């Protein structure tokens, strides 16, 4: 096991005369034994990053260091990595045993007996011993997924690379495999990079998340850091489901003025945004407060368009009542609380839970205040 | 209890399919095609069993009566074609196997192996040229090559010392090599279509497992090509077995001891006294037999290969 680091790693593809930058000077360190999730929308460069570690793409600039050696110029078999593909890529003509043994036969000098032992142990860990003599075509999606994992862990590599391994499973199995994968990684303690476009997977599985957009690293941090302390508008909008609501606002003395609402600012907040007048206000759906009346400070009227019940909570899509501003925003409320579509309610955006971003650069100027900072700083202690 | 609302006759009528004119049209069309394709084969087959008298005395597609029936044409044809059959096997089997092997490796190198994209495309274009070369255009340079530049008669003269072979078989060797050369492009193209559809991730998984370019081919690609090998083998076998022009140009005469079955067949059953249709038909069926057998043997792989290619 070893740490892995990217140092100004760049990958450009040339398409005719156009240069397409897939990964732009990525600086990122993955600690020994860490479970890092690379997340971002499709085309953000996350898969390219993973494939550069695997040796399936070669970087056009910068280095990749595994342990204490640079690996960017090595062939895949010299790197001591194992990868799980989205399609599983099991060899259809080989048995499960053959699939798992193939890598050991090709990249180690182990005797047949030793290989067989290791395959058996790995199969035991994944509970697939009774599938060893079957062909991949005879297995269900979930079983194939396990075999693909088995093929990776049997190699006992320095790093696991997982490319959307759960994308082809149905929702229930996916949730189950998420937990299992995490436990497995915990047991094995192998440094793992996991690529996904699904922010739920990223949040629930990782030690740390690295968020990429358009080839550039946006933020690296624990899931809760990324959720509560996003460094820019992109991260704020990408992490969290339903996503954060954004509004254009301007600063007027001690108040933020948006189209249809106002929020009074505290002294501290005013300082953090001083010098910038055009801002973007962000507020998570669960922080939007819905009241019966508009008596409270900063409250305004909004009409309810759609209520999506999820059982444990309701996502309420609303619109400002009094203005021409027809932008839609979402609030999450408890599942038991009933609101009717078409109803007009009082809404406020509490000052302590808003995020403020520079409208031009998108950078966060002020994030929501947390009562329990320690909880966020060190989530592993929980 | 509710009573049935329809009479028995009505419910039976409802179960019968409605009269569908397009279905009738299709059935008629199928029958027309069936007759169109089957009648010449049928006529040929019955002619092969007729005595010379019966051939002229009866309608072509009517089976011979008891007095007009004979197996003599078949025994004569087999007798006459046996050397040609052996020669054709000597030529077709190795050249087909080589075409399949080289076509498959070339296709692998041009699709699944990652190297200079433009160079790869240039090589592919060359292969495409190879497919579209008209055979007639190369006959003169071809015979010039085998007779003057690589004088096969001299270099392969040792063939005469082997059992069955004669010195003239050097020309059969020339035809075999020529078929390999002209067969590779189309075989490559057939395999290429199959390999392009093969998952990249499979090859990448093998790379990560530590397999080299050759072991990826041997362990992963080749075993997965089985259905396509069946298709290409049947196709190429039939093409080479039935080919006439190269044999005629390089071997020359149907009397040569190296003559292939197509060459011998061209002279079968025609002499100064006229054409022996019965013998010609029997000969044609004997010559076609090996390709039919190959189809039957590889039918399953053939169907599987065609299905997976689409």
Residue ranges per structural domain of chain B: 8-57, 72-309
Which of A54, A85, A103 lies at the smallest CB-CB distance from B210? Answer: A103
Give the Cβ contact number of residue A40 at 10 Å.
Answer: 27
A175, A204, A233: which is the final residue of a domain? A233
Q: Residue B66 above 50 pLDDT? A: yes
Q: Does the beta-carbon distance from A103 to B224 stay under 8 Å?
A: no
- Of B92, B85, B60, B83, which is closest to residue B281 (Cα–Cα)? B60
Reported confidence tier of residue A292, pLDDT bands at 50, 70, 90: confident
Residues A283 and A375 in one domain: yes
Domain span including residue A173: 4-233
Residues A174 and A286 in one domain: no
Is beta strand A81-84 parallel, antiparallel or unpaired with respect to A261-264?
Answer: unpaired
pLDDT at A1: 64
Give the full edge-to-edge strand order of the sheet including A364-366.
A261-264, A255-258, A245-252, A278-283, A355-358, A364-366
pLDDT at A46: 93
A188, A212, A233: which is the final residue of a domain? A233
pLDDT digits (tens, 9 = 90+) for B135-190: 899 999 999 999 999 888 888 888 888 888 888 899 999 999 999 999 999 999 99
Domain membership flag for residue A57: yes
- Paired tokens of A376: 């966020």
Region A340-365: what's the mean pLDDT?
90
Domain at B72-309: CATH code: 1.10.3720.10
Residues A161 and A291 in one domain: no
In angstroms, the Cα distances linking B67 to A93, A155, A264, B51, B91 are: 58, 78, 116, 9, 41
In angstroms, the Cα distances linking A332 to A198, A278, B212, B236 are: 20, 27, 54, 68
CA atoms within 13 A on the CB side of B195: 25
Interface test with B, best of A56, A90, A136, A144 (most B CBs within 10 A): A56
What 3-state DSSP class applies to A280? strand
Q: Does the beta-carbon distance from A93 to B223 stay under 8 Å?
A: yes
Region A186-194: what's the mean pLDDT?
93
Reported confidence tier of residue B67, pLDDT bands at 50, 70, 90: confident
Region A270-282: what's the mean pLDDT?
87
Q: Residue A376 above 90 pLDDT? A: no
Q: Does the beta-carbon distance from A87 to B201 stay under 8 Å?
A: yes
A185, A208, A233: which is the final residue of a domain? A233
How far is it, in rounded angstroms, from Cα A156 to Cα A304?
Answer: 55
Which of A54, A56, A77 lies at the smallest CB-CB distance from B210? Answer: A77
A264-268, A354-358, B76-80: the lowest-pLDDT one: A264-268
Q: Does the beta-carbon distance from B206 to A91 stay under 8 Å?
A: yes
B67 vs B179 pLDDT, higher one: B179
In angstroms, the Cα distances linking B1 to A251, B8, B278 are: 80, 18, 75
Contact B135, B245 (CB under 8 A): yes
Q: Does the beta-carbon distance from A77 to B207 stay under 8 Å?
A: yes
pLDDT digits (tens, 9 = 90+) for A114-164: 999 999 999 999 999 999 999 999 999 999 999 999 999 999 999 999 999
Mean pLDDT estimate for chain B: 88
Q: Residue A296 above 90 pLDDT? A: no
Region B126-132: what's the mean pLDDT?
92
Which of B202, B208, B224 lies at the smallest CB-CB distance from A54? Answer: B208
Region B75-92: what's the mean pLDDT?
93
Contact B190, B265 (CB under 8 A): no
CATH number at residue A71: 3.40.50.300
Cα Rg of chain A (Å, integer)? 25
CATH number at residue A254: 2.40.50.140
Residues A166 and A249 in one domain: no
pLDDT digits (tens, 9 = 90+) for B293-308: 988 888 777 777 667 6
Continuous H helices in chain A:
46-54, 96-107, 112-126, 141-153, 171-188, 199-205, 223-228, 233-238, 267-273, 373-377
- Paired tokens of A343: 């109803």
Q: Residue B310 above 50 pLDDT? A: no
What is the share, in percent, of chain A residues with pLDDT greater than 90?
59
Q: Does the beta-carbon distance from B208 to A106 stay under 8 Å?
A: no
For B212, which residue in chain A has the nearest alpha carbon?
A106
Residues A218 and A268 in one domain: no
How many domains are contained in chain A?
Answer: 2
pLDDT at A381: 42
B124 vs A378 pLDDT, higher one: B124
Q: Residue A183 above 70 pLDDT? A: yes
Domain membership flag for residue A239: no
Q: Residue B95 above 90 pLDDT? A: yes
Interface test with B, best of A47, A85, A99, A109 (most B CBs within 10 A): A85
Q: Residue B22 above 90 pLDDT? A: no
């Amino acid at each position: 096991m070893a740490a892995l680091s990217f140092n100004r790693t760049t990958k450009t593809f040339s398409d005719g005369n156009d240069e397409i930058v897939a990964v732009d000077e990525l600086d990122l360190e993955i600690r020994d034994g860490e479970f890092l999730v690379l997340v971002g929308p499709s085309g953000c460069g996350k898969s390219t990053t993973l494939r550069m570690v695997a040796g399936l793409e070669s970087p056009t600039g910068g280095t990749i260091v595994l342990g204490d050696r640079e690996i960017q110029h090595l062939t895949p078999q010299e790197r001591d990595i194992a990868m799980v593909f989205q399609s599983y890529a099991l060899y259809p003509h080989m048995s499960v045993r053959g699939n798992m043994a193939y890598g050991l036969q090709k990249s180690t000098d182990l005797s047949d007996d030793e290989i067989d032992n290791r395959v058996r142990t790995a199969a035991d860990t994944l509970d697939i011993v009774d599938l060893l003599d079957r062909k991949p075509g005879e297995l269900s999606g979930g079983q194939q997924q396990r075999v693909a994992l088995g093929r990776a862990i049997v190699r006992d590599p320095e790093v696991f690379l997982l490319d959307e391994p759960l994308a082809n499973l149905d929702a229930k199995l996916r949730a189950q495999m998420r937990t299992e994968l995490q436990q497995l990684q915990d047991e094995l303690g192998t440094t793992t990079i996991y690529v996904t476009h699904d922010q739920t997977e990223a949040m629930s599985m990782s030690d740390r998340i690295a968020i990429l957009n358009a080839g550039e690293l946006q933020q690296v941090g624990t899931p809760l850091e990324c959720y509560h302390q996003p460094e820019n508008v992109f991260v704020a909008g990408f992490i969290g489901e339903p996503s954060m609501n954004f509004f254009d606002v301007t600063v007027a003395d001690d108040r933020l003025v948006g189209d249809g609402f106002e929020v009074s600012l505290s002294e501290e907040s005013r300082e953090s945004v001083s010098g910038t007048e055009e801002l973007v206000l962000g507020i998570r759906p669960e922080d939007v407060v819905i009241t019966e009346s508009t008596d409270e400070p900063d409250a305004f009227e909004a009409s309810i368009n759609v209520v999506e019940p999820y059982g444990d909570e309701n996502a309420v899509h609303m619109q400002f009542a009094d203005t021409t501003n027809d932008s839609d925003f979402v609030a999450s409320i408890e599942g038991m609380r009933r609101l009717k579509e078409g109803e007009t309610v009082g809404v406020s955006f509490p000052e302590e839970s808003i995020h403020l971003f520079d409208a031009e650069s998108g950078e966060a100027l002020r994030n929501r205040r947390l009562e329990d900072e320690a909880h966020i700083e060190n989530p592993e202690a929980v | 209890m509710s009573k049935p609302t329809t009479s028995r006759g009505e419910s039976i009528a409802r179960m019968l399919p409605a009269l569908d004119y397009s279905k009738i049209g299709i059935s008629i069309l199928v029958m027309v095609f069936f007759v169109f394709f089957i009648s010449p084969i049928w006529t040929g087959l019955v002619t092969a069993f007729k005595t010379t008298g019966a051939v002229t005395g009866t309608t072509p597609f009517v089976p011979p009566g008891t007095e007009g029936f004979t197996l003599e044409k078949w025994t004569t044809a087999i007798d006459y074609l046996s050397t040609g059959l052996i020669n054709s096997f000597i030529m077709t089997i190795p050249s087909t196997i080589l075409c399949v092997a080289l076509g498959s490796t070339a296709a692998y190198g041009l699709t699944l192996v990652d190297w200079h994209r433009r160079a790869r495309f240039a090589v592919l274009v060359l292969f495409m040229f190879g497919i579209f070369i008209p055979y007639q255009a190369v006959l003169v340079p071809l015979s010039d090559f085998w007779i003057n530049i690589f004088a096969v008669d001299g270099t392969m003269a040792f063939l005469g010392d082997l059992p069955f072979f004669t010195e003239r078989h050097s020309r059969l060797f020339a035809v075999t090599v020529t078929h390999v050369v002209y067969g590779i492009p189309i075989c490559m193209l057939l395999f290429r279509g199959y390999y392009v559809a093969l998952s990249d991730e499979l090859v990448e998984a093998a790379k990560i497992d530590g397999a080299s370019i050759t072991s990826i081919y041997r362990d992963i690609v080749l075993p997965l090509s089985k259905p396509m090998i069946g298709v290409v083998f049947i196709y190429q076998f039939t093409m080479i077995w039935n080919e006439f022009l190269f044999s005629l140009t390089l071997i020359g005469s149907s009397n040569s001891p190296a003559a292939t079955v197509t060459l011998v067949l061209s002279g079968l059953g025609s002499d100064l006294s006229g054409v022996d249709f019965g013998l010609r038909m029997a000969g044609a069926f004997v010559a076609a037999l090996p390709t039919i057998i190959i189809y039957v043997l590889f039918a399953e792989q053939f169907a599987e290969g065609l299905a997976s290619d689409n």
